[in-house]
Amino acid sequence: MRHIRQTLRLHLQSGLSYAQVARATGSAKSTVGKIVLLARAAGVDWALAETLDDARLEARLYRPAVARASTHLEPDYALIHQELKRPGVTLQLLWEEYQRGHGERGLPAYKYTSFCIKYRDWAASLKRSMRQTHPAGERLFVDYAGPTMPLVNAATGEITQAQIFVAVLGASNYTWACATRTQTAADWVASIIGAFEFIGGVVRLLVPDQPRALIARPDRYEPEVNRLVEELCSHYGVAVLPARPAHPRDKALTS
């Protein structure tokens, strides 16, 4: 504090410049400037500094930092969580809606990256679950995912809707997708064969949902596959392990 008092006296009382005070006290010019700026911000002149003891002067110059309150409009994370369950709804779409609506309260909105990070942090706090580990080559998760995609006939202009089949390897997330016109058992089997050809091998387990096209008798614990799927399994030496109803984590990679 003696150094601070001397700095303030030389500059405020004697009128020396920053450079002159720095040479007189043996300190850097930037240090002198910082001390003087702190005094100005605290409203301390030399007359006041002389009346304060060291503790009171230090308290005036070095006030504790005040936590900055967030001035951003917080998204409704619960609503976002529910909206994401609807087909075709993405975080990008919800962020754009949030951006359009933030002006009503006059507060700035989060950028897209911050919006996503804050939502995922919120969602991660909802429910704890055990991390699933998939040995390489063990499981292939298969499903028809997302909304249909339009197919345009270049010759006639006719538009039909295509179903999107997705296959994901459990260990690596290596993904293959194709389009089919329907979701019949033949479409499923042909798409699974296409996935095997794409990855260049066969897994031990196929993990689909329990669609009627594949499962002849749905059941929570012992579903029964249809004949075409049985023939596929017999030919390739694989087994089918359908996901349980209402258990999305059984097939989380394609959900």
In total, how many domains does the chain have? Answer: 3
Spatial contact of 154 and 169, defined as CB atoms under 8 Å apart: no
162 and 103 within one domain = no
| Residue 175 main-chain phi, psi, to 5 deg | -120, 140
Is residue 9 situated within a structural domain? yes
CA distance 32 to 103: 44
CB atoms within 10 A of CB 163: 19
Spatial contact of 162 and 179, defined as CB atoms under 8 Å apart: yes
Is residue 28 situated within a structural domain? yes
Question: Which residues, in sequence order, are CB contacts of 248 under 8 Å at separation 6+?
Answer: 255
Predicted TM-score (pTM) of this structure: 0.50
Is residue 71 situated within a structural domain? no
Domain that holds residue 83: 77-124
143 and 117 within one domain = no
Is residue 66 situated within a structural domain? no
234 and 181 within one domain = yes
CA distance 25 to 21: 6
Q: Crossing angle for the helix pair 91-101 and 112-124, nearest 10 degrees?
A: 110
Is residue 133 situated within a structural domain? no
Is residue 35 situated within a structural domain? yes
| Burial class, 214, CB count within 10 angstroms (exposed 0-12 / middle 13-18 / buried 19+) | buried
pLDDT digits (tens, 9 = 90+) for 215-243: 888 777 677 888 898 899 999 999 888 87
Is residue 67 situated within a structural domain? no
Q: Provide the Cα torsion 58, 60, 65, 66; round to 10°.
A: 160
51 and 84 within one domain = no
Question: Which neighbouring-strand residues pair with 169?
Answer: 140
Q: Which DSSP string do the residues of 56-77 spell out, in sequence order?
A: HHHHHHSPPPPPPPP-SPPP-H
- pLDDT number for residue 141: 92
53 and 13 within one domain = yes
145 and 241 within one domain = yes
pLDDT digits (tens, 9 = 90+) for 32-46: 888 888 888 888 888
234 and 166 within one domain = yes
214 and 178 within one domain = yes
Ranges under pLDDT 50 in the chain: 67
Question: Which residues, in sequence order, are CB contacts of 153 under 8 Å at separation 6+?
Answer: 159, 160
147 and 224 within one domain = yes
177 and 109 within one domain = no
Is residue 240 situated within a structural domain? yes
